[in-house]
């Protein structure tokens, strides 16, 4: 077993899935990061940009550009954070809910097509294994982040 080649297969699959999702989302004028932001947001309780960047695993400047685009499309709105005057909160608009619903339906159909090559047992087994791997990688990231925060000057 060549661990590196096996790992590369995961990387290649991840890139292919991301590209396929981008092709689906193109018709909704969204990329995968914008779509994932719409999935997180709701119309009632806003997210601070800092929290959104942490959840999306991207830099604050990237989230600022993302929010600028989604706001220009009328999909989100910004408002001052009542608990911190320096922060803003973003919430989903009615147009954002509608676009998210349409994009989500298209993505879910694409996922059904992709998984149709697996039996239900194969799918359940694959999902269980991926969840275990995700837990290991998440724990590794958490430990590394904790170490980095404790050694930072």
| Model confidence pLDDT, tens digit, residues 109-133 | 999 999 999 999 999 999 999 999 9
Cα–Cα distances in Å, from 16 out to 10, 12, 27, 99, 123?
Answer: 10, 6, 18, 24, 18
Cβ-based neighbours of 24, under 8 Å, separated by 6 or more: 103, 106, 107, 110
pLDDT attached to residue 1: 54
- DSSP-derived letter for residue 28 is T
The answer as to CATH 1.10.10.10 being correct for domain 3-117 is yes
Domain segments of the chain as ranges: 3-117, 119-153
> Please, which residues bridge with residue 81 across strands?
84
Q: What are 8-20's pLDDT values in tens digits?
A: 999 999 999 999 9
Q: Given this model, what pLDDT does residue 150 score?
A: 72
Q: The whole model's pTM is what?
A: 0.84
Q: What is the mean pLDDT of residues 56-65?
A: 93
């Amino acid at each position: 077993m060549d661990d590196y080649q096996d790992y590369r297969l995961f990387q290649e699959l991840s890139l292919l899935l991301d590209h396929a999702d981008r092709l689906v989302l193109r018709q909704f004028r969204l990329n995968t990061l914008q779509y994932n932001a719409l999935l997180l947001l709701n119309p009632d309780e806003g997210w601070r940009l800092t929290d959104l960047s942490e959840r999306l695993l991207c830099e604050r400047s990237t989230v600022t550009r993302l929010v600028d685009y989604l706001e220009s499309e009328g999909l989100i709105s910004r408002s001052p954070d009542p608990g911190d005057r320096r922060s803003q909160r973003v919430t989903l608009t009615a147009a954002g809910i509608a676009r998210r619903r349409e994009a989500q339906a298209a993505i879910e159909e694409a996922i059904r097509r992709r998984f149709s090559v697996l039996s239900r047992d194969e799918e359940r087994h694959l999902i269980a294994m991926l969840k275990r791997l995700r837990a290991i990688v998440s724990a590794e990231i958490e430990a590394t982040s904790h170490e980095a925060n404790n050694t930072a000057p």
